[in-house]
Structure 1
Amino acid sequence: MSFSRSTSPLPLPANFQRDCFSAATKRWKYLRRVFKFDQMDFEFALWQMIYLFVAPQKVYRNFQYRKQTKSQFARDDPAFLVLFSLCLFVTSVVFAIVSRLTFLQFVNFLLYAIFVDCILAGLIIATIFWYILNKYFRVNEDQDVEWGFAFDVHLNAFLPPLIILNFCQLFFYNGLISHEWFISRFIGNTFWLIGVCYYIYITFLGYGSLQILQRTNLLLVPLPLMLLFYILTLIGGINITHFLMQFYRDRVLIAS
């Protein structure tokens, strides 16, 4: 016995729905849930954060499931963003302690970290990827990369470097990395190499999971360039961590 889809009491799968929400409607629904903590799945968001370190490809399988069930790749639950903001706050506290910042200087650094280093940089990077991939990498002109998904990919890729560089690395800074020894710049620069490689690889996995894109392996091209730059900094005596710590301190002091 066969049944017509029109007589089924079940809703249509997202892939077959005719009246899907617009991008603006999806963004509004997402932002409206930011302060509704009881509606957020923090356990699943924490699972995603952990697996971004150990098996990031599994995180993007969930994006595929969301596309099949909700007709969008981008997250519709702001729980990940809330936990990400908490990580940003904790790492900023660690930086302030290591750098011996005053409370006002800490507030300035936190505002810079949130609105400049994370949000502004994320908006720029996500927009660049969204434009270039839709223009040059699409297989099917009828489908495109969602901007919200591009921003999610940036947040996914940004989390491991944030924890590695702004948390784990700082515990070694004053006692070891801040000196002029070779081992100091080797450890500091290695932290940065790992962090940047994480960002590139997770970004590649994110866009590589989309079947509407081709040649996404080109996103891995910066990896050997980063390795070459890493070797040159060791030979040239450049301590990347020390240089950037001084840059962030100066930026905070100027703002204060």
Structure 2
Amino acid sequence: MLKKERHDSIMRQINLHNRVLTSDLVQLLSVSEDTIRRDLQELAEHDQLYKVHGGALSKSYQSSFDDSTVYAKDAKIIIAKKAITLIKDGMVILTGGGTTIIEMVKQLPENLHATFFTISPFVAIELANYPRVEVILIGGLFSKNSQVTYGGHVINQLSEISPDLCLLGTSALHANDGLTDTDWEINQLKKTMLNCSKKTAVLCISEKLNISLRLKVAPITNIQYLITELPSDDPQLADYQIKSLQIL
């Protein structure tokens, strides 16, 4: 594989998942770890990503408030506008992090009266713009890669709440394999978020459909709503048309 092809493949993974691990890229591209490290360094020098220990982060993920760097921004705005139709006054909402969730927060009605729990400091800052929204940031260890709080303390706090709705971004969604991820700690966190919530909506750009990663979060039957930028009857969503799942 030529270097340009490797770089294109790396950037596609970065744009889809916001972060990549060197070990995953080695396996995906069938090259040495040294080659991947050099590729990441070159891409970082060209200001295309942030190189971190063990992998790299998306520019849009690291700079969530810079609209110009958000990948698939138009699609995420469509998803955001669909997602807010699920939110009603008086609800208790739990959110994950990521650029799609931040776009959703930006679309909320100004007079919304609700309580939001979140594991994302960036989401909490955006929510602070709404005068009638109570914002509770669940604190713990902070993941520099995923940009959310995590760990046993966070999981204990989550187990004590019962939100009406969990709004969750995802790295990958597959009709058979369900929600999957690559980070063990984040994997446990997402499991707890789903388990403590009465209903869960997954916000997912269509490019992340039909992808399976190595760690299982939950089967698709544990999700009540799937929100993509596609029309609900789009052929790409045919495999997700199951009785327990409402597609928006």
- Using structure 1 for the length normalisation, give the TM-score: 0.26
Structure (1 or 2) with the greater helix fraction: 1
- Is the radius of gyration larger for structure 1 or structure 2? 1
